[in-house]
Amino acid sequence: MKRRNERPENPRRQFLVRALGGAGTFLVAGCNRLSSTQWFPKFLAVGERLSSATQHLATPRKSMAQEFSEADLSPRFRSNGTAVPDNPQYQALARNAFADWALEVGGLVEQPTKLTLAQLRHLPSRTQITRHDCVEGWSAIGKWTGVPLHEVLALVRPQPQARYVVFYCADPMEDSEASKYYESVDMEDARHPQTILAYDLNGAALPIANGAPIRVRVERQLGYKMAKYLMRIELVESFAQIRDGKGGYWEDQGYEWYAGI
Ligand SMILES: Nc1nc2c(c(=O)[nH]1)N[C@H]1C(S)=C(S)[C@@H](COP(=O)(O)O)O[C@H]1N2
Ligand SMILES: [Mo]
């Protein structure tokens, strides 16, 4: 699998590195004066804790996925899996340009809500040019615009026991209602700055083939995590009770739940 580089300009990390650099200078400068005092070793121990915190920030779980420029965009962003949901309710919503569609957000939250496409478009937005990698062996670079999931979470206020965000989609994968596509991420990925509910692809409304009206982008994971045709989001403590209990449509069939790249 291709590795994604950490963005060198990650401001939080730079801040920490700078702060630590400052502490280091202080330690060195103060060495002669402090080496014989009782509290010096204790101070060093604090320094060690801080540097293990910076190391944790550098791990793939916290890092940013690589972002690209307009020049890198794929000429066409192909569609994979469902291209048109075989669901009469979805097709009726699509015919009306999703004016009657609303995303339900519920489960372990203080303030369950429903958000229309217009409301989602009015929340703060983020645009990112990223590479999508599908396990079937293709990649594409696209420009995604959407509302960061953490903005939506701030509206609904997750309860402390919420550990996962589950995304329910409109497309049945086989002929039964119970086999609709679904996916999940943990709260760390849900709050990651690049995790967005995307409504635009390459500067235009998201096409149906790519998940209209809304699809998830979880940029440090593989394509199958990027649920299309979102209908409902549910915060849960465990997905043991959901379908086969593995946290996603493909996971239930043996794919990894954490599809890190
Ligand atoms: N609802 C839904 N989401 C889905 C799929 C799907 O079939 N249905 N396919 C997944 C897979 S395997 C990939 S690679 C991407 C494809 O996204 P695209 O159609 O925009 O290329 O969506 C993912 N999300
Ligand atoms: Mo995929």
Q: Per-domain residue ranges for the chain? A: 11-252
Best of 210, 228, 229 for a ligand 1 pocket test (most atoms within 8 Å of beta carbon): 228
Backbone angles phi, psi at 251, to 5 degrees: -60, -40
Q: Note the pLDDT of residue 179.
A: 80
Best of 74, 77, 80 for a ligand 1 pocket test (most atoms within 8 Å of beta carbon): 80
Q: Quick one: CA dihedral 228, 201, 261, 16, positive or negative?
A: negative
| Domain 11-252 CATH class label | alpha beta
Query: pLDDT tens-digit profile of 110-129?
Result: 999 999 999 999 999 999 99
Q: Does residue 24 have a pLDDT over 50? A: no
Tell me the whole-structure pTM to 2 decimals. 0.80
Question: Ligand 1 atom closest to Cα of 180?
Answer: 1
Question: Ligand 1 atom closest to Cα of 223?
Answer: 14
Question: Ligand 1 atom closest to Cα of 181?
Answer: 1
Query: Whose Cα sits closest to atom 16 in ligand 1?
Result: 80
Query: pLDDT tens-digit profile of 25-69?
Result: 333 333 333 333 333 332 333 333 344 444 444 456 779 999 999
- What token pair was written down for 200? 């635009």
With CA atoms as reference, report the closest residue to 239 among 183, 192, 195: 183
DSSP state of 168: E
- What token pair was written down for 140? 């594409």
In the block, tokens 């701030």 appear at: 154
Best of 221, 224, 225, 255 for a ligand 1 pocket test (most atoms within 8 Å of beta carbon): 224
> How distant, in Å, are the alpha carbons of 85, 218, 258 from that of 140?
22, 15, 21
- What token pair was written down for 80? 């994979």
